[in-house]
Structure formats: structure tokens, C-alpha cells
Amino acid sequence: MSARHLWRQVRQQLYAEGRQLITIRPSDRPWQMPFAAALASGLPLLVGAAFGRVDYGLVSSLGGLVFLYLPDTPLHHRMVSLMASAFAMIACYTLGIISHLLPAGMLLALATVAMLSNMTCRFYQVNPPGSLFFFMAAAIGAYSPVELLQAPFKVGLLALGCLLACVVAFVYSLFILSRRLPRPVQPLPPASFEFVVFDSVLIGVCVGVSLLLAQALQLHNPYWVPVSCLAVIQGMSLRAVWEKQLQRLLGTSIGLLLSWGLLALPLDPWRLALMIIVLTFIVETAVVRHYGFAAIFITPLTLLLAEAVTLGHGSVSALIQARFVDTLLGCLVGLAGGVCLHSPRFRAWASPPLRRLLTPQRPRQAAD
């Protein structure tokens, strides 16, 4: 192969990657949906600001993110689905809080949450964001400073946020269903061991490995590493994993610059609440059209949700640098896991032993 031919192939590949990066997908998502999502996550912060307890509002705001699991099916189905997601969010956060009180089991607990939440989302065909926010709730709970007697109170705050999200979702559903027909409820396809079980176990292992690396490197907020890993590895193909990690890295890099500018502003509780409402609206408008562009605003949104209470107690530059390192490490582990996940050779090697381990054959009865 000549150098000219090789260079032509490289240019064609770079051109294809560049076009993919700037491709904006069409979407029929109504603007009222991002607005309702912004209210679900922002109203708890406004209530917290009114009572001078923005830290309580932040916990409830995390529960408000469950609104994003609202399907576009008939009213009875979407509300039951959302309430089930709210229960899952509360359960995952509770497990995270418990693992904080029992640090020795934290890594195993978070890896298990990643595995079981992903398994459940795949079995019930839950649309994006899939298991991401369930795991993020568990991870934030695991690394939130809380004493034993405060744990039920913190879980109650998150549950109130989930309840408010359900109320907002009900009002939004009544409005939107009066203007457009719902999507029919489709029967669940037969559960596949490979898709539901094997993939979920491997994803849980990769999430656990990413958290172990973050702890070994003594990163400041190690839970961002497995969150980034999970966000990347959920791609349904190796190409999707590659594109998502590339868009997440580029979007996060730009988003960190935006975060640095926003965090340099004087942030009182009211401005913080309004900023999170605006960012949520932008993210939910953009994420179905271009993930990389949405990641620019996801970065400051997640930073504010997770770090707002501690802002002003440390260097903003150090926080920004730490978040970039966390994202880079998580994306690399997620990409490596995606290569294994979509490798036929690896699956042929690893899947049969796991199947035999989890589905042991019954012993044959002796003939009379």
C-alpha cells in the first residue's frame, strides 16, 4: 500500500468522523417535555432556596430526574412505568447511602447496582437514559457525607423529589395526550441471556473496575469515573460506543470551560436554582438531537447538582481538572469494555461459563 493511498484512507476516515460529529438528528420531542423536566428538577431547588436549605433541595432535585423515564405511551402505562422508575431511583440511592455507612462493601454494592439496574432496564426495554441515572443516584449517595441517623431523612428528601416528578409528569401527560396520540404499548420481546444477563454482568464488572482504578489513584470524586464509564459502554454497537466516548470527551472538555465561567459567578440559592432549570431544559432539548452538544451542558448541570453544597470551599480550577481526569479515565475504561462487549471472540469465550454458572442444569433422575 502506497503512502498516498494510506493518506487518502486516513483523510476519508477523518472526514467521516467529522461529519458524524456535526450530524444533528431530527426529533419530534415537543418543547413542553424539556420544560416539564426542568420544572421537575428545578422546583425542589426553588423550595430549598425559599427555606434557606439548598442542600435539601439538591437531594430532592436528584429525585426529580426520574421524570426523564416517562415513556410516550398511554396515560395508565406511562404513570405506572414512571412510578416503578421512582421506586428504583429511591432503592438505588438508599443502597448507595448504606454503602457509604459500610465502606468495605461500597465497590461491590455500586458494581451490583450497575449490573442489576442495567439488567432490569434491558429486560423491560427502558429507553435512554437507561440505567445511567439509577446508578448515578447510588454513586452520589455512596459518596455523600451522611451519618446513620440522617440516612432515612436523606432518602425521604429524594423520595419527595421523585413524588414531585410524578405529579409534574401527570399534569404534562394530560396536556400532551390531548394534543398527540400516544405510542401503543408493545409486548416485551423474549428475554435473551446474552442481551439481558451477559451484557449486564460485563457492564457491572467494567463499572467496578473503573471505580477500583479511581480509588487506587485516590481521585477526589471517584464516582464520576464509573458514571462516565457507564454512559459510554451502554452503546448498542462498538461504533456507538466509540462515537459516544468521543462526543462525551469533546462535549465535556467544552462543558468544563463553560462550568469554569459559571462557577466564577456569584451563585446564591436562587441563581443556582434558575441555572439548573435552564441547563436541564437545554440538555433535554439537545440530547435527542446531538449527544456531544448536550454533553457541553450536562457537565455544568451534573457539577452543580453534585458539588453545589461544597462550592466555595475549594479551588474551582482543581474541581474542573479533576472532572476532566475522571471523564477521560471513565471513557477509556468504557471504550475497553465496549470492545469486549461487542467482540464475537470474547463473547464466545466468556459467555458459556457464565451461562453454566447462572443456569445450572438439573441432575437427571435415575431410570427405574
Q: Which amino acid is at 199?
A: D
The stretch 270-296 carries a mean pLDDT of 88
CB atoms within 10 A of CB 45: 28
Q: Cis ω on the peptide bond leading into residue 129 (within 30° of 0)?
A: yes
3-state class of 48 per DSSP? helix
- Distance (Å, whole) CA 302 – CA 254: 14
Q: How far is CA 182 from the centre of its chain?
A: 26
Q: What is the pTM of this model?
A: 0.88
Q: What is the pLDDT of residue 368?
A: 42
Q: H helices of 124-223, where? A: 132-142, 151-177, 199-216
Give percent above pLDDT 70 in the chain.
Answer: 89
3-state class of 91 per DSSP? helix
CB atoms within 10 A of CB 358: 11
Cα distance between the two ends of the chain:
70
Least trusted range by pLDDT, from 8-12, 146-150, 242-246, 263-267: 8-12
Given pLDDT bands bounded at 50, 70 and 90, which one contains residue 363? Answer: low
- Distance (Å, whole) CA 273 – CA 265: 14
Given pLDDT bands bounded at 50, 70 and 90, which one contains residue 357? Answer: confident
pLDDT of 293 > 90? The answer is no
3-state class of 182 per DSSP? coil
The stretch 12-16 carries a mean pLDDT of 63
Per the CB < 8 A criterion, the answer to whether 124 and 131 are in contact is no
Q: Which amino acid is at 258?
A: L
* Residue whose entry in the numeric block shows the C-alpha cell 427405574: 368
For the chain, what is the mean pLDDT?
Answer: 86
Per the CB < 8 A criterion, the answer to whether 326 and 214 are in contact is yes
- Distance (Å, whole) CA 149 – CA 191: 41
pLDDT of 308 > 70? The answer is no
- Distance (Å, whole) CA 82 – CA 40: 13
pLDDT of 311 > 60? The answer is no
Burial environment of residue 311 by CB neighbours within 10 A (0 to 12, 13 to 18, 19 or more): middle
Cell numbers representing residue 354 in the block: 457464565
Per the CB < 8 A criterion, the answer to whether 27 and 267 are in contact is no
Burial environment of residue 289 by CB neighbours within 10 A (0 to 12, 13 to 18, 19 or more): middle
Distances (CA, A) of 77 to 70, 122, 129, 178, 275: 10, 18, 18, 16, 32
Least trusted range by pLDDT, from 9-18, 50-59, 99-108, 236-245: 9-18
- Distance (Å, whole) CA 287 – CA 294: 5
